[in-house]
Amino acid sequence: MPGNHQSKPASFYSLKQLGPILFLALLFFLTFIARVVLSPLMPSIEAELEISHSQAGTMFFFMALGYFIALLSSGFLSSRISHKSTIVLSATVVGVALLVIALSRDLWELRAAIFFLGMAAGLYLPSGITTLTDMVDSKHWGRAVSIHEIAPNLGFVAAPVISEIIIFWFSWRAVPTAIGLAAIVIGLLFARLGKWGNFPGQSPGLSAVRCVFANKSFWIMVILFGLAISSTMGVYTMLPLYLIKEIGINHGLANTLIALSRVSGMATALVSGWATDRFGAARTIMYAFVLTGITTILLGAASSKGMVVVMVFLQAALATIYFPAGFTALSSLFPADIRNVAISLTVPFAFVFGSGIIPSMIGFTGDMGSFSTGFAITGTLILSGSLLSLYLKLNPNPVCEN
């Protein structure tokens, strides 16, 4: 059963309350940076393995496929070993998969290792979000999720910085090695010290799945998450190749710009959490898609190198608005006992689209001579999400009728 909410401290900002949230955020950071660190490494990987832009893009599809499978099946695992154990397993296996990536010597070995990396990372999110929302009162969910969402935004910043520092002294293979070892150590530390999430998840049985699928807003959330992931992971994974190969920015400067552009996203995520608690998730989501869609279109349509750089910064800052509001909205649709099922059914389809199909499409347009076309198409799709968000019907007191 979920934890005893009566024992929660009155103050959200107390160390007792923030400590567990920050520990979860650290685990999320490691499982997230494991997935995005391949992006700044891709020019080096392309050169060593002599692969095309399309082949580089398909690596992210393999990762998305593994992530998809793990998310769908995570409920079966967490229902047997608890959310805490699932989180620990995710972090440690992510570490092992990164070590295997560092040892891979050809394209198919790398694809297989990346596939298993996606599977390991996919186990985290349903158990992580369910544990997080059990820690705090629902009135603080927006702020709690926004702190948790600092992790992926910090991952976007840290991945190119860490890559550039390590590659200066070693080969690209040292990067997944270092992050993999860190993930294993922190995962084992959480197993030893963590006191949260010691309750089983709900397996995606027929009644739980029926409850989730019967909610029309669930299907809207699937599409919205797919578009939101397109604006972050989809854009981020192919941005180094775009800046280096098409815009003509050198490798080191491109990764530096990408890292710096993601710094503001951490602040934007916190603002989004405040806006979600203050103005509501649905309204925050709508404005997120309007702003992110326009800047993504302009990222591809910019006519000068300087304007492209400006759009890199604006697009990155605005793309993070969605997630605190999105996870708050999704959590409000379902009762706590099946919330992990809803997340495990929402995110996999969204992730395959946003971080698998979209990078592959952008890579294809890059091989055709125009990465910018791929970014413009992506931005148009994201902008359409603002209209779809108008049909969301959120429920502050969700109940499933089975």
Domain ranges in the chain are 15-391
**pLDDT given for residue 201 in this prediction:** 65
**pLDDT given for residue 197 in this prediction:** 63
Mean pLDDT of the chain: 82
Res. 133: pLDDT tops 90: no
How many C-beta atoms lie closer than 10 Å to residue 303's C-beta?
A: 8
**pLDDT given for residue 382 in this prediction:** 94
Residues 64-86, mean pLDDT to the nearest whole number: 82
Residues 156-179, mean pLDDT to the nearest whole number: 88
Q: Which of 329, 358, 317 is nearest to 142 (CA)?
A: 329
Res. 397: pLDDT tops 80: no
CATH code linked to domain 15-391:
1.20.1250.20
Q: Which residue has the higher pLDDT, 138 or 222?
A: 222
Banded model confidence at residue 6, pLDDT cuts 50, 70, 90: very low
**pLDDT given for residue 8 in this prediction:** 45
Q: Which residue has the higher pLDDT, 360 or 92?
A: 92
User: Are 347 and 297 in contact, with CB atoms under 8 Å apart?
Assistant: no
Q: Which residue has the higher pLDDT, 394 or 110?
A: 110
Res. 10: pLDDT tops 50: no
Q: Which residue has the higher pLDDT, 259 or 119?
A: 119
Report how far residue 77's alpha carbon sits from residue 401's, in angstroms, rounded to the nearest whole number.
Answer: 25
